Amino acid sequence: MRDNAMPRYEPLVRDLLRQSGITLGGPAPHDLHVHDSRFYERVVAEGSLGLGESYMDGWWSCGQLDEFFCRLLRAQVESRIRLPWRQVLAAGVARVLNRQSSRRASQVATVHYDLGAEFFEAIMDPRMAYSCGYWKDAHTLAEAQEAKLDLTCRKLRLTSGDRTLDIGSGWGSFVSFAAERYGCATVGVTISAPQADYSRRRCDGLPVTIVRADYRKITLRDHGQFDKVVSIGMFEHVGPKNYRTFMKVVDRVLADDGLFLLHTIGDNLSRMRCDPWLDKYIFPNGVAPSVRQIARAIDGLFVMEDWHNFGPDYYTTLMAWCENLRKNFPAVSLDLPVPRDRFFRMWEYFFTSFAAAFKTRQLQLWQIVMSKGTIPAYASIR
């Protein structure tokens, strides 16, 4: 502390934490320890954005971040604090503007995915699957990601004769797995140049084509028709104003007797934008869809054949990534625009706060299988 006077907002923050089962300066792993008295005013004035930025700045610490966030979320602390006017204004703007337009679509790649493969190799499994693993029978991150990829293929009823499209193919985990294990020809589409380059090297010798493009550029004329379409962990970047457009793209390129699997984070509420800290530092313009938003987007286009929720598995996945971050980050060589310790705390905050949202069931993870309604009855696979 800078002086002996109690900071103006300390009693308010202390009381809010107490209502969440958190003691300011307490001995429990989930208790919060303040290292800079400016923290109190900042978190009251700026809400979740101030909480995240002050952690990045080293103004506070906690022994077990994920449990700290779980307690805040269960107590619904944010609902007890008046939102800063900037966040209210931003929410209003998001309802009017298309924050995920073609012009803005590459922002998330620039901020997040274009960090390069070395960083993601340090935190992910060998297949570089940057989405929720399936932990039903898995004991390691690698096993969980292999299980997720195989589950996806089996839900799509993949065969060696299929031509498959992966919208948002990332680092090539699905396209390479489908080609290697199921022998089908795959086309992967990503907006990120580093991801496209990495995937092409990884898939050399496989029947895989990687296209760098916005999903709105996928056309029947340029890319042909596909027996199966999959999108894993990309729909969160599409945005509510574009959900219908996305579904129409899939409808145009999917064969009449084909299957489409959407793997996406899901929200319990219909929103137009995500948490302001997450929006600023991790996923610019990102937002998770709700059941209602997805239903409206597929209305009249697809039959919903199966809806599988394994959201709690994302807690385990994110904490595995966080463990790898803590273990491997010191050896990672990165040219960063911010100090390494601030960058590290940003990602630690992301993984643990996001994990808590899944553990407390604020967020879900859905795999939704859809058809055009011309196939025989679909049997759910788990």
Which tens digits make up the pLDDT trace of 199-212? Answer: 999 999 999 999 99
The 3-state DSSP composition of the chain as helix, strand, coil percent (nearest 5) reads 50, 15, 35
CATH superfamily label, 102-371: Vaccinia Virus protein VP39 (3.40.50.150)
pLDDT at 93: 42
Residue, of 221 and 185, whose pLDDT is higher: 185
Q: Using 50, 70 and 90 to split pLDDT, how confident is the model at 87?
A: very low
Q: Name the phi and psi angles at 199, rounded to 5.
A: -65, -40
The token duo for 103 is 């012009």
In this predicted structure, what is the pLDDT of residue 134? 98
pLDDT higher than 70, residue 107: no
Residue 90 has pLDDT above 50, yes or no: no
Find the range with the poorest average confidence among 80-89, 147-156, 214-223, 234-243: 80-89
Q: How far apart are CA 224 and CA 36, in angstroms?
A: 58
Is pLDDT above 70 for 97?
Answer: no
Q: Which of 329, 321, 360, 350 is nearest to 52 (CA)?
A: 350
Write down the mean pLDDT value for the chain. 90
Query: Where do the CATH 3.40.50.150 domains begin and end in the chain?
Result: 102-371
pTM of the model: 0.90
Is the pLDDT confidence value at 88 over 90?
no
pLDDT value of position 102: 56
Band (335; pLDDT cuts 50, 70, 90): confident
254 pLDDT tier (thresholds 50, 70, 90): very high
Which residue pairs from 26-32 have beta carbons closer than 8 angstroms and sit at least 24 positions apart in sequence? 28/63, 29/62, 29/63, 29/64, 29/67, 30/62, 30/63, 30/64, 30/67, 30/68, 30/70, 30/71, 31/62, 31/63, 31/68, 32/60, 32/61, 32/62, 32/68
